[in-house]
């Protein structure tokens, strides 16, 4: 008989659960308003369809009208994008994950302290795009690092601060920090990898040697570089 082992930390992460709950609460609280999310609230077609049935759908080409409701999903958005929404007179429900907000705060802190900022993550990931918006807003300089080769620009600076996309692979994050330590005079590291990502990666490392086949169902809010949220 086949034995199926389910990882103890499988399932939606805290940020996704929170965003979905806020979307459901919006349906109950905001009557007579069209309700949209900025992109799919999660990359899970079944969940997106379920929410559509409740009246919450991704914003896909519709022209926003005053009085509409827009939910910022857990990835967050650049501050300018949020201001743009508010200028249109729409109701904004900010479901940005608190762990993502912590990345924004860390970036602003590093800029204030005079560091060139390295964001370990994917350049086109919506979370990283939002974080870059906060970097720009704070008047700082920085880059997104997807590979070790991307570090060339950072190594030209004496003081470098490092943060991470919340769903980044821990091993790659450590590689980046180690490489910078060899070439930069001062490196300040703020580990912003979400614990939900870490424990799921640990589950994989622990279970893999004990089974013949492993199936990873990657329920994501967006693509990640070897990291996952569920």
127 is catalytic: yes
Helix (H) or strand (E) holding 36: strand 35-37
Q: Of 50, 60, 56, which Cα lies nearest the Cα of 91?
A: 56
Question: Where do the DSSP E strands lie in 55-203?
Answer: 56-58, 69-72, 91-94, 116-120, 142-145, 159-164, 186-189
Q: Are 142 and 177 in contact (CB under 8 A)?
A: no
CA dist., res. 20 & res. 33, Å (int): 18
Nearest Cα to Cα of residue 189 among 167, 174, 169, 202: 174
Active-site residue, from 63, 80, 113, 127 = 127
Kindly list the catalytic residues. 127
């Amino acid at each position: 008989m086949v034995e199926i082992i389910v990882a103890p930390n499988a399932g939606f992460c805290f940020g996704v659960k929170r965003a979905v709950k806020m979307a459901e609460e919006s349906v109950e609280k905001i009557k007579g308003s069209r309700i949209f999310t900025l992109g799919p609230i999660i990359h899970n077609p079944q969940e997106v369809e379920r929410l559509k049935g409740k009246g919450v759908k991704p914003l896909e080409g519709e022209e926003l009208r005053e009085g509409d409701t827009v939910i910022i999903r857990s990835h967050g958005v650049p501050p300018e994008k949020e201001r743009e929404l508010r200028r249109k007179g729409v109701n904004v429900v900010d479901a940005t994950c608190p762990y993502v907000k912590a990345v924004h705060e860390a970036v602003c802190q590093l800029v204030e302290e005079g560091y060139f900022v390295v964001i370990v993550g994917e350049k086109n990931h919506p979370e990283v795009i939002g974080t870059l918006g906060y970097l720009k807003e704070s008047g700082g300089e920085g880059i997104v690092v997807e590979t070790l080769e991307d570090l060339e620009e950072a190594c030209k600076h004496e003081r470098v601060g490092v943060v991470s996309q919340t769903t980044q692979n821990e091993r790659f994050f450590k590689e980046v920090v180690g490489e910078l330590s060899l070439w930069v005079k001062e490196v300040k590291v703020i580990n912003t990898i979400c614990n939900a990502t870490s424990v799921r990666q640990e589950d994989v490392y622990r279970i893999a040697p004990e089974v013949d086949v492993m199936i990873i169902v990657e329920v994501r809010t967006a693509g990640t570089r070897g990291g996952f949220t569920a």
